[in-house]
Amino acid sequence: MNYIGSKLSLLEFLDESINKVADKNCRVFGDLFAGTGAVGAYFKKKGYSIIANDIQYYSYVLNQQYVGNHEVLEFSGLEKELPGLKEIKHEDKKDFVCNYLSSIKGIKGFVYKNYCFGGSKKKEFQRQYFSDENGTRCDAIRQKIEVWKNDKKINVNEYYFLLSSLLESIDKHANTASVYGAFLKQLKKSASKSFTLKPAELILNDQEHKVFNEDINKLIKNVKGDILYLDPPYNQRQYSTNYHLLETIAKYDNPKVYGKTGLRNYEKQKSLYCSRGQVKKAFQDLITNARFKYIFLSYNNEGLMSHEDIKEVMSKRGKYGYFTKKYNRFKADKDANRVHTANKTLEYLHYVICK
């Protein structure tokens, strides 16, 4: 997923840097601002037991899939409903179920009524985040997944797999420049194409992993491990507003939506890490309470906290240092109104070896 602050293209830099600092006996890796799950998934493949967390529910769903799910998915509860499934090889069952869902008829549900032109054209605000066809199909698939879960035809692992597949697949066809803070007036090419449900990657291994959906400053007192990786927001843009539609598709809770962009209420998901006045205190509290041997922090040179602030806070726990890497700016930042116009930013990986 194209996500603000995604570390997908920095994974090797993170890995190499972490290896230079951490000892070889580390086993438990915490990724507590997990976003897309890219970092947790990478270190899961390296054999770590992962603790993942994010305040956003869509991120929790993705992390349940990429991190939490580590065993084969059988979908045996669907064998009666989907003829042919029983005879399919284990490794092809996920594709079979996704193909079935891709073929079901659309329904005029919440997404269509609030976020597609056909459904919203007679309302106070007309919105076009998805084509009418993709919106109705998204509704139908989302409702079917919930019915299967409620009828106990799928287990929780299969549920998160299907939801993640839906979030990833529909996101590729969103009619936006990049995030859900605004939609485009005309349907762009990728948005007018029909979407199909592509199976989300399933990483099999024999480690147990834990996934949470909490504010990190609350969770930190209840987890411990070897390596703590922190990748907080860098600026004032809240993830809850930029990705509100993914949150609604993931929860499918018929929220009250308002304004031009159809935002849901996000009072409980406002991040202190996006507030210039509150970020340092929140960070200080987090670092003080962390029960890990090594703490790493990704931050860039344009973030709300200064290098001095970070150094001051982290040094209190032990030996502090940092690595840097030049990095291409997130695409959405091309907007001419933005304060920073350089195409490259300097990405820092700060660390402290705790005493």
Ligand X SMILES: C[S@@+](CC[C@H](N)C(=O)[O-])C[C@H]1O[C@@H](n2cnc3c(N)ncnc32)[C@H](O)[C@@H]1O
Query: CB 136 → ligand X: shortest distance, Å?
Result: 28
Q: 344 and 328 in contact (C-beta within 8 Å)? A: yes
Nearer CB in complex with ligand X: 148/239: 239
Among 35, 109, 225, 303, binds ligand X (CB under 6 A): 35
Nearer CB in complex with ligand X: 64/136: 64
Per-residue x/- track, 197-216, ligand X (CB under 6 A): ------------------xx
Nearer CB in complex with ligand X: 9/194: 9
Q: 250 and 61 in contact (C-beta within 8 Å)? A: yes
C-alpha span between 332 and 299 (Å, rounded): 18
Sheet of strand 49-53: strand arrangement: 210-212, 49-53, 28-31, 225-230, 292-300, 344-354, 318-328
Query: CB 282 → ligand X: shortest distance, Å?
Result: 7
Provide the token pair at 269: 């998901």
Among 30, 233, 262, 303, binds ligand X (CB under 6 A): 233
Amino acid at the residue 71: E
Per-residue x/- track, 244-283, ligand X (CB under 6 A): ---------------------------x-x----------
Strand partners, 229: 31, 296
Residues 58-97 close enough to bind ligand X by CB under 6 A: 59
C-alpha span between 339 and 342 (Å, rounded): 9
The SS3 of residue 93 is: helix
The SS3 of residue 164 is: helix
What is the total count of residues that contact ligand X (CB under 6 A)? 23
Q: What is the DSSP letter of 102?
A: H
User: Where do the H-state alpha helices sit in 183-326?
Assistant: 189-192, 216-219, 239-242, 244-251, 279-289, 307-315
Is 38 an interacting residue with respect to ligand X (CB under 6 A)?
yes
Query: CB 281 → ligand X: shortest distance, Å?
Result: 12
Of the candidate spans 111-119, 178-186, 232-240, 257-265, the one that interacts with ligand X by CB under 6 A turns out to be 232-240
Of the candidate spans 35-43, 77-85, 118-126, 147-155, the one that interacts with ligand X by CB under 6 A turns out to be 35-43
Q: What is the DSSP letter of 263?
A: B
Nearer CB in complex with ligand X: 35/135: 35
Positions in the binding site for ligand X (CB under 6 A): 3, 5-7, 33-36, 38-39, 53-56, 59, 215-216, 231-233, 239, 271, 273
